[in-house]
Amino acid sequence: MKIAVCVKQVPDTADIKWTENNTIQREGLESIINPFDMYALETALKLKDREQNVNITTLTMGPPQAEEIIRKAISLGIDDGFVVTDKKFAGADTAATGRTLAAAIKEKIKEVDLILCGQFATDGDTAQTGPAISVNLNYPVITYVKEILSVENNIATVKKEVEDGTEILKVKLPAVLCMLKCDYEPRRPLIKGFKNAQKAEIKFYGLNDIGLEVEQVGIKGSPTYVSKAFRPEQKQGGEIFVPDNADDAVNKILEALNG
Amino acid sequence: MAKGILIYAQTDRNGILQNVVLELAKTAQDLSQKLDNCEINAILFTDGTNLEENKNILSKNGFNKVYIANSLKLKQYSTEYYSKITVDLIKNITPEIFLIGATTQGRELAPVVATTLNTGLTADCTKLDINEKGQLASTRPTFGGNLMATILCKNYPQMATVRPKVLKKAENEIIKNTEFIELDFDLSTIEKHVELVEFIENKQLADVRIDEAEIIVAGGKGMKNQQGFELLQELAQVLGGSVGASRGAVDMKLADSSIQVGQTGKTVVPKIYIACGISGAIQHTVGMSGSDKIIAINKDKNAPIFKVADVGIVGDVFEILPKLINKLKG
Ligand SMILES: Cc1cc2nc3c(=O)[nH]c(=O)nc-3n(C[C@H](O)[C@H](O)[C@H](O)COP(=O)(O)OP(=O)(O)OC[C@H]3O[C@@H](n4cnc5c(N)ncnc54)[C@H](O)[C@@H]3O)c2cc1C
């Protein structure tokens, strides 16, 4: 079974500081693999632990520095990976990103059974890239996936979390699955993993390698664009009470509930 | 030329029309006024269950036309069936704007439809407007609400999913002589790859679902054990609210992960959020800082939760909560 996992480099939420112009202060900012993508990687690795002949490739679209997160993924046990990078990809919205990743998968991985993505990216939070990839490849998609229960005879059985409960769904492969936070935690790299990551040859592919035209990618290939970005009024912490006793505290809360 | 606003009239498992549809309907009224009073139409999928009731509600919420896809095969939501029928309708009636609730269903359907039509989609918006050029201006939070972005779309229909409970429903009925149009479609031509095997209803800690609750009583590691969460459950019950949890509490197995609030859990915007024994890590607060009013109880006066709380109480949850519950019951 061939699995592709799409990952994104995002700024570490806990680290984000804002400049006066409402842009993120990039200096000193740690980049991490999007937390939801970590669950997608872990889910793929779990399948590899459990089944024979599973091969996992990870890919990311981003600046050349995104190589770092591909190496990180390899340190966890992913077989190989590549970076889809080109100045012409800049400014891509989810539609253009989905198209670009789909083209890269088609051209560079070719035969694939399962494509895993994170349900959201913590910076953009659009949840649209996975479904966009699926439509471009003409594969079915399931979003909000909590767990892959089994893969047998080219059919995956998955748990999907919805507002009122859990759905068990069967999907014919190849398919795209978008992963939520799972009930298991992503593994940590072992020494061997670090070594593999260091040795690994990471490939870089640009527009010419993936068979798309310049009008289909980046800002040109994006039907949406940002007209304005602003920071909402930040909440100033309200009053803090140090009540004399519990009754005092209760009264304060009742006041707040009614007010 | 593209014209009119189309709304996805989502129903739940029992055929009940979702509130977010009515919120979208009201917003569409405001948008329509800035678009030469263009038509507001809906697409409704049904197997017949509750259909008359839904038609009745839609006609009181200002819809001009409702396109109905009626088939027993449409009882279960299916992205493959629903997106095909929606795409065909959109090609046919060429709406200028297509709005969908940002539910789990809407957030799967919308990008599939948008990608198929090669148009743009703005996710999880909290505000919609028409700009001076007559374009849909969709505003949405990014970076967990730390940055707002207003997004425009070059193609038609301009699409957006809209977060439930943020926009208001109409206060009064907007009665229209709604035209109901049955859609003609052939499902046999659609290859279906995804099948529902089973649905397991959530074991939530309260009667009210967390995504619908006006009041959320949330607990963290400071609630310590199962008994602690039982207190929260009791409080939620008397307040008619729902129970939420921090990741800390979920990791301690005090709560199911389906009620985790935060970056890797749910984003909630209730009227009142009561944080009990939650420290207020950034990954938690990005999921709840949009709540109208935040009350926090924590015994550590330096806990970061107090930075986002409107009312902060420094104290012990095990002393305060039982008394609060008694008082509310009494
Ligand atoms: C990638 C990533 C994603 C994450 N996603 C999420 C997420 O989605 N949601 C989330 O919540 N967290 C998330 N976290 C974890 C987050 O960083 C915090 O670790 C977590 O929120 C802490 O949970 P807590 O507040 O319950 O526990 P703690 O931080 O341990 O806080 C417990 C609090 O309880 C107080 N307390 C203890 N006893 C009492 C008492 N008797 N009365 C009153 N107060 C008491 C303490 O003073 C303390 O402030 C994420 C972390 C990472 C790295």
Q: State how many domains chain B has.
A: 2
The answer to whether residue B103 sits within a structural domain is yes
Residue with tokens 């990608």, as numbered in its chain: B115
- Cβ A186 vs Cβ A116: under 8 Å: no
Which domain CATH number covers B114?
3.40.50.620
The answer to whether residue B195 sits within a structural domain is no
The answer to whether residue B206 sits within a structural domain is no
Interface test with A, best of B271, B313, B323, B329 (most A CBs within 10 A): B313
Phi, psi of B318 (to 5 degrees): -75, -20
Structure tokens at B15: 């055929």
The answer to whether residue B200 sits within a structural domain is no
Q: Is the CB of B220 under 6 A from ligand 1?
A: yes
Q: How far is A45 from chain B (nearest CA, A)?
A: 20
Compute the distance between CA of residue A226 and CA of residue B120 in angstroms, rounded to an integer: 12
Which domain CATH number covers B285?
3.40.50.1220
Model ipTM? 0.95
User: Chain B 185-214, CB below 8 Å of chain A: which residues?
Assistant: 193-202, 209, 211
The closest CB to that of B197, out of A14, A126, A169, belongs to A169
Q: What is the pTM of this model?
A: 0.93
User: Does B43 score more than 90 pLDDT?
Assistant: yes
B174/B220 same-domain check: no
Q: Is the CB of B278 under 6 A from ligand 1?
A: yes
| CA angle at A209 for the pair A206 and A212, rounded to the nearest 5° | 90
pLDDT for res A97:
97
B181/B37 same-domain check: yes
The closest CB to that of B119, out of A13, A136, A223, belongs to A223
B132-137 contacts, C-beta under 8 A, 24 or more apart: B134/B34, B134/B35, B136/B31, B136/B96, B136/B97, B136/B160, B137/A227
B33/B135 same-domain check: yes
Q: Is the CB of B260 under 6 A from ligand 1?
A: yes
B115/B166 same-domain check: yes
Rg of chain B over Cα atoms, rounded to whole angstroms, equals 22
What would the pLDDT profile of B152-186 be if each residue is shown by its tens digit?
Answer: 999 999 999 999 988 989 999 999 999 999 999 99
Q: What percent of chain B shows pLDDT beyond 90?
A: 89
Q: Does B319 touch chain A (CB under 8 A)?
A: yes
Residues of chain A with C-beta less than 8 angstroms from the C-beta of B312: 237-241
| CB within 8 Å: A163 and B104 | yes
User: Does B46 score more than 70 pLDDT?
Assistant: yes
The closest CB to that of A22, out of B79, B104, B147, belongs to B147
- Domain ranges, ordered by start, for chain A: 2-231
Q: Is the CB of B227 under 6 A from ligand 1?
A: no
What would the pLDDT profile of B258-313 be if each residue is shown by its tens digit?
Answer: 999 999 999 898 999 999 999 999 999 989 988 999 999 999 999 999 999 999 99
B40/B178 same-domain check: yes
pLDDT for res B206:
67
Q: Is the CB of B249 under 6 A from ligand 1?
A: yes
Q: Name which of B271, B266, B270, B261 is nearest B305 in CA terms.
A: B261
| CB within 8 Å: A175 and B115 | no
Q: Is the CB of B266 under 6 A from ligand 1?
A: no
B178/B87 same-domain check: yes
* Homologous superfamily of the A2-231 domain (CATH): HUPs (3.40.50.620)
Phi, psi of A197 (to 5 degrees): -65, -40
Pairing, β A165-172 against β A155-162? antiparallel
What would the pLDDT profile of A210-231 be if each residue is shown by its tens digit?
Answer: 999 999 999 999 999 999 988 8
Phi, psi of A49 (to 5 degrees): -60, -35
Residue with tokens 């429903």, as numbered in its chain: B169
B243/B181 same-domain check: no
Residues of chain A with C-beta less than 8 angstroms from the C-beta of B122: 224
The answer to whether residue B262 sits within a structural domain is yes
- Cβ B161 vs Cβ B48: under 8 Å: no
Q: Is the CB of B300 under 6 A from ligand 1?
A: yes
The answer to whether residue B264 sits within a structural domain is yes
Structure tokens at A216: 């289909």
Compute the distance between CA of residue A58 and CA of residue B63 in angstroms, rounded to an integer: 47
| CB within 8 Å: A168 and B108 | no
B53/B182 same-domain check: yes
Atom of ligand 1 nearest to the CA of B261: 9
B313/B269 same-domain check: yes
pLDDT for res B2:
83
| CB within 8 Å: B313 and A241 | yes
pLDDT for res A29:
78
B296/B221 same-domain check: yes
B66/B164 same-domain check: yes
* Domain ranges, residue B315: 215-329
Domain-terminating residue out of B189, B205, B224: B189
Specify the 3-state DSSP secondary structure of B71.
coil
Q: Is the CB of B244 under 6 A from ligand 1?
A: no
Q: Does A209 touch chain B (CB under 8 A)?
A: no
The closest CB to that of B193, out of A136, A171, A237, belongs to A171
pLDDT for res B234:
96
Compute the distance between CA of residue B26 and CA of residue B8 in angstroms, rounded to an integer: 14
**What average pLDDT does this structure show over B5-20?**
97
The answer to whether residue B83 sits within a structural domain is yes
Q: Determine the distance separating the centroid of ligand 1 and the alpha carbon of B302, expressed in angstroms.
A: 14
CA dist A198 → A34, A75, A80, B193, B211 (Å): 21, 8, 12, 40, 44
pLDDT for res B71:
98
In chain B, where do the E strands start and end? 5-9, 40-46, 65-70, 97-101, 121-125, 127-130, 136-142, 147-153, 158-162, 179-182, 194-201, 215-219, 242-245, 272-276, 293-298, 311-314
Residue count of chain A: 259
Structure tokens at A52: 């024979």
**Average pLDDT over chain B, rounded to whole?**
95
B31/B150 same-domain check: yes
The nearest alpha carbon in chain A to B153 belongs to: A224
Q: Determine the distance separating the centroid of ligand 1 and the alpha carbon of A224, expressed in angstroms.
A: 37
Q: In chain A, which residues have pLDDT < 70?
A: 21-22, 234-235
Strand order across the A80-84 sheet: A203-205, A80-84, A55-61, A2-6, A114-118, A175-179, A141-152, A155-162, A165-172, B194-201
The nearest alpha carbon in chain A to B112 belongs to: A131
The answer to whether residue B201 sits within a structural domain is no
Could you count the other beta carbons within 10 Å of the beta carbon of residue B140?
Answer: 25
User: Does B255 score more than 90 pLDDT?
Assistant: yes
pLDDT for res B205:
66
The closest CB to that of A13, out of B116, B263, B265, belongs to B263
Q: Name which of B24, B17, B43 is nearest B136 in CA terms.
A: B24
Compute the distance between CA of residue A90 and CA of residue A222 in angstroms, rounded to an integer: 10
What would the pLDDT profile of A85-131 be if each residue is shown by its tens digit?
Answer: 999 999 999 999 999 999 999 999 989 999 999 999 988 888 999 99
Q: Give, using CA atoms, the residue closest to atom 11 of ligand 1.
A: B246
Q: How far is B99 from chain A (nearest CA, A)?
A: 15
